[in-house]
Structure 1
Amino acid sequence: MEDARKEQLEALEVLAEFNDRLVKNMNIIVKELSGERLDDTDKFLKSIVDAINWEIQVVNGTMEALNDGKERVNKESFNAAVVALSRAIGENDDAKMAEEFKKIIPVFEQLGVSAKEVIK
């Protein structure tokens, strides 16, 4: 049990470091999807989606630690934001993707804050 908790905290440490860069990149992709597309926008978008998926896996594996003592991450609202973004990406509509990224950025910012709070 103690080993599982230690592994969760280690995963959250990595997430905390990784999250700031992901959020920064999400803000950049919003600009690109809002009419400032570049030659590598699709490749950049894929790398961001891969990073989001990795963070989702970490959240799923560390929810117990994240919400230890108090709710820091609401699983239902987190999942709803992810599903909405996923739908927009599936439609391949730049404007919709930009809008959903704008909505999910605060969710991932809060995740970063929560991870840092737990690992202190």
Structure 2
Amino acid sequence: MVNNMQEESLKIKQLEALEELYHYSQKLIPAIETVSGELRGNGQEDTDEYLKSILNGINWIIEVLNRTMDLVNVGEVIIDKEKINLVIHDLGEAIKGKNDEMIAEALTKEVLPFIVDSSIRAAVLTNQILN
């Protein structure tokens, strides 16, 4: 009985974290789109700081997913951890190379779809679509 209560408590915490992920991703998605445009030649004074903030947000999303993966992927693999690692590796390589176009490309073609998929899954699990 104690075990069931602990499992239920963990599930509630995971769902709360996924609800936060959903709400945060609604801000992160347009931010990624904006910074990608800035990196493609429409740079602003704060583009580098903005990018750092977005990278912190992406890391936070990954942390939440790592802690909730058993719930996110219940029944089937929705978010593939190995694919996430490849996406982050590609983004890291672009950042290391200090190539703004490659960073923008990695953000829009690889990171953004992963964030959108994560957001959709979080919405489904936390019934955000109905709210």
The TM-score bracket by the shorter chain reads over 0.9
Q: Say if 2:85 is the partner of 1:84.
A: no
1:58-69 matches, cutoff 5 A? 58-69=64-75
Give 1:71 shift: 1.9
* CA distance in structure 1 between the partners assigned to 2:85 and 2:23 by the alignment: 22
Q: CA RMSD in A?
A: 1.0
Which of 6, 11, 21 is equivalent to 2:17? 11
Q: Which moved more, 1:40-49 or 1:89-98?
A: 89-98
Alignment TM-score, normalising by the size of structure 2: 0.87
| Counterpart AA for 2:124 | E
Runs of 4+ in 1 over 6 A off after TM superposition: none
1:18-97 matches, cutoff 5 A? 18-97=24-103
* CA distance in structure 1 between the partners assigned to 2:29 and 2:113 by the alignment: 9
Q: Which runs of 5+ in 1 are unaligned?
A: none
Alignment TM-score, normalising by the size of structure 1: 0.95
Q: For residue 75 of structure 2, give the secondary structure of its aligned residue in structure 1.
A: coil
* CA distance in structure 1 between the partners assigned to 2:42 and 2:87 by the alignment: 24
Q: Which moved more, 1:6-15 or 1:83-92?
A: 83-92
Q: For residue 43 of structure 2, give the secondary structure of its aligned residue in structure 1.
A: coil
Post-superposition CA distance 1:79-110 (Å, at most 9, x none): 21122112211222101101101122111111
| Counterpart AA for 2:122 | A
Equivalent position of 1:114 in the other structure: 121
Give 1:8 shift: 0.7
Q: Which moved more, 1:82-91 or 1:12-21?
A: 82-91
| Counterpart AA for 2:121 | S
Percent identity reads: 34
Alignment coverage as a number of residue pairs = 120
Equivalent position of 1:100 in the other structure: 106
| Counterpart AA for 2:120 | V
| Larger Cα-atom Rg | 2
| Counterpart AA for 2:31 | N
